[in-house]
Structure 1
């Protein structure tokens, strides 16, 4: 499992299917950014970041699950209608939102310790969403199975994750410098762009998930 190959294959898929991913996810990403903007416009920019997390919990599980389902169906050569993907995402929302909430709290708690514990938790839980959405595992079991899958692959997974996140953080920083005091419309556009680009990490992690599942399956057959 070469991180460079994973990133290259993921970028090729993302670019090739961009026309399908945009109408599937972008409307929800924009709506999430809009609700966040309106909320902070009412309560002020100094409000707790918890409000932003609550808005994300409302929208992120929907477009994340829809994208994961799309990746799975396309990888199996199927062409599932967008409305069916979104309908299934709505059904998965309660469990996925709970999983994301628990994972986020654990990661934040780990980051408040010595940073690395938060990174360690994040890497161990990267496959939990895929296990819940695609394999139907309950929340806690998804987290446990994700930790088991990452065992022995920590560094390679971390390289892939931060190879995606670092450029995104750089882009966000450059845009903030380019638009230090954006108008509401520009701010909405920038937030939507940032949220959509972060979906590339979902594609990368799906590729890693499938590769590790395949390796585990081959090892089981060999035994």
Structure 2
């Protein structure tokens, strides 16, 4: 499980299925970015970040669950219909939203304790979304199982996460440096949407790791 091999496999998959992932996730990603802009404009720059997190909880579970279901189907060489994926993601939304809220609170709590505990929690919870969507676990059970699954793989997971987040952070910083400031609303919407969509590559990488590490229970 060389991190470089995981990243190469994930990049190959992402590029090969880019059009399907775009059609599946991009509309909700754009709608999420647009909603966040509306909330920000309505409440002003001094508004609590909690409002942005609440908007994210409306959309993130939907397009992430749909993406995970798509990834799982493609590993079985299936080509599911987009509406079927979104219907299943909608049914998963309540429990996925609870999981996202709990994970965010734990990570934020860890970040408030000198950052490192937050990074540790983030890495340990990295498989919880896949366990909830694909194994039908409850949010708390998925979090506990993710802690167990990540044992012995912490460094490998962290390397993969950093190899995705660091280039994306640099790209976002360069775009903000090059583009005019302040950004007009259409340009800001395009930048936010592109940034959020590219971050979905992290889900592809983590799914690849999940498939390599996860051992399904033996049939009776």
Q: Smaller-chain TM-score range?
A: over 0.9
User: What residue is the counterpart of 2:146 in the other structure?
Assistant: 146
Structure 2 matches for 1:1-223, cutoff 5 A?
1-179=1-179, 180-213=181-214, 216=215
Secondary structure of 1:113's partner?
coil
TM-score, structure 2 length as denominator?
0.97
Moved more, 18-27 or 167-176: 167-176
1:46 CA drift (Å): 1.8
Cα deviation per residue 1:125-153 (whole Å; 9 max; x = unaligned)? 00000000000011111000000000000
Structure-1 separation of matches of 2:109 and 2:146: 19
For these two proteins, the number of residue pairs brought into alignment is 217
Cα deviation per residue 1:10-55 (whole Å; 9 max; x = unaligned)? 0000000001000100000000000000111111122111111000
Unaligned segments of structure 2, at least 5 residues: none
Secondary structure of 2:58's partner?
helix
Structure-2 separation of matches of 1:46 and 1:173: 22
Structure 1 runs (4+) deviating above 3 angstroms are none
**Is the helix fraction higher in 1 or 2?**
1
Structure-1 separation of matches of 2:78 and 2:120: 35
Structure-2 separation of matches of 1:183 and 1:135: 43
Q: Please, what is the CA RMSD of the aligned residues?
A: 1.1
